[in-house]
């Protein structure tokens, strides 16, 4: 098997779709299909099963895909070791970044870091914090920028805490909330539990959710257009003075907050590029960016 075959198998597992895998690998669908067939002929077994929408691996395909992941990881480790042996900071830095941080923080941080270390390249994966946590845990990325609190035995640096607030386009009181239109958005389980816990401590009936969207940024736009209120991190709306906010508070009067931290394995500090980036982050006021 070649590196291209390993990458193909991993792409197929991620997308469960030949067309999407081909797009991810920047090849045509017929080319990818031909490569699958050649691999099946080489091993004398079927590797995938075609479904009405997409594909799934056969047991032999799953076995080969697991092998491909190991090979790709070993290849990355060799490349990193070679770059580390050089005096200059270079190589590819792999980051797992939560959605909000990816939109509002990471582009500026990478630009600033690149100014000091022009030979560094970046590989960035974005998504829910729980997914980014698993990537760091499994050594699939060097560093994770993650919201919430996860059990972690490696290195962890708190970057900032943000207030969770009610954000509305009009004046309101807490007593009015159950009757007012609320805009809900998809978020990770920790944030959902935090908001739900606060709500049911204060109200006996569910919220009046009349709009549901996929992202917090869309929720913000709905609020700006007067369609309802949302419960979200204050950082999302702090630059919009027309939005009225009220922080969530606990029974003891404390404000409900959520932490954003940098997670990484201590062993990765042996790599020049990771060590340089961690030291760089420690000098930056990330919240102020």
| Percentage of residues in the chain having pLDDT higher than 70 | 98
Question: Alpha-carbon distance 42 to 5, whole Å?
Answer: 12
Say whether 162-257 and 83-161+259-288 share the same fold: yes
Looking at 3.20.20.70, 3.40.190.10, 3.20.20.60, 2.40.50.140, the CATH number of the domain 83-161+259-288 comes to 3.40.190.10
Average pLDDT over residues 166-186: 96
- Predicted confidence (pLDDT) per residue in 238-259, tens digit: 999 999 999 999 999 999 999 9
CATH class of 162-257: alpha beta
Q: Given this model, what pLDDT does residue 87 score? A: 61
Q: Given this model, what pLDDT does residue 241 score? A: 95
The first and second tokens of residue 286, run together, are 């990330």
pTM over cut 0.75: no
φ, ψ dihedrals at 242, nearest 5°: -75, -15
**What topology is assigned to 3-80 in CATH?**
Arc Repressor Mutant, subunit A (1.10.10)
The first and second tokens of residue 288, run together, are 């102020």
Residue 242 · residue 122 · CB < 8 Å: no
Q: Which residues make beta-bridge pairs with 93?
A: 122
Kindly list the distances between the CA atom of residue 136 and the CA atoms of 144, 217, 274, in Å, as whole numbers in the listed order: 6, 25, 13
């Amino acid at each position: 098997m070649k590196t291209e075959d390993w990458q193909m198998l991993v792409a197929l597992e991620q997308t469960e779709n030949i067309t999407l895998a081909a797009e991810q690998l920047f090849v045509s669908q017929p080319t990818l299909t031909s490569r699958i067939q050649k691999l099946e002929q080489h091993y004398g077994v079927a590797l995938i099963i075609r479904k009405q929408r997409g594909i799934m691996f056969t047991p032999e395909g799953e076995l080969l895909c697991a092998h491909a992941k190991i090979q790709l990881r070993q290849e990355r480790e060799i490349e990193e070791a070679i770059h580390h042996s050089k005096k200059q900071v270079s190589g590819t830095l792999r980051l797992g970044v939560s959605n909000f941080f990816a939109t509002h923080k990471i582009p500026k941080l990478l630009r600033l870091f690149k100014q000091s270390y022009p030979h560094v390249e970046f590989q960035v994966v974005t998504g829910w914090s729980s997914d980014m946590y698993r990537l760091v845990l499994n050594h699939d990325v060097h560093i994770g920028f993650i919201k919430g609190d996860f059990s972690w035995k490696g290195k962890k640096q708190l970057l900032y805490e943000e207030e969770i607030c009610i954000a509305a386009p009009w004046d309101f009181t807490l007593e009015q909330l159950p009757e007012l239109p609320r805009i809900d958005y998809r978020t990770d389980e920790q944030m959902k539990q935090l908001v739900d816990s606060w709500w049911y401590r204060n109200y006996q009936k569910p919220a009046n959710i009349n709009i549901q969207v996929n992202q917090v940024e869309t929720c913000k736009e709905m609020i700006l257009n007067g369609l309802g209120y949302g419960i979200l991190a204050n950082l999302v709306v702090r630059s919009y003075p027309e939005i009225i906010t009220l922080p969530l508070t606990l029974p003891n009067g404390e404000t409900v907050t959520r932490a954003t931290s940098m997670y990484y394995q201590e062993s990765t500090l042996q790599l020049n590029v990771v060590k340089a980036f961690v030291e760089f982050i420690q000098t930056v006021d990330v919240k102020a960016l």
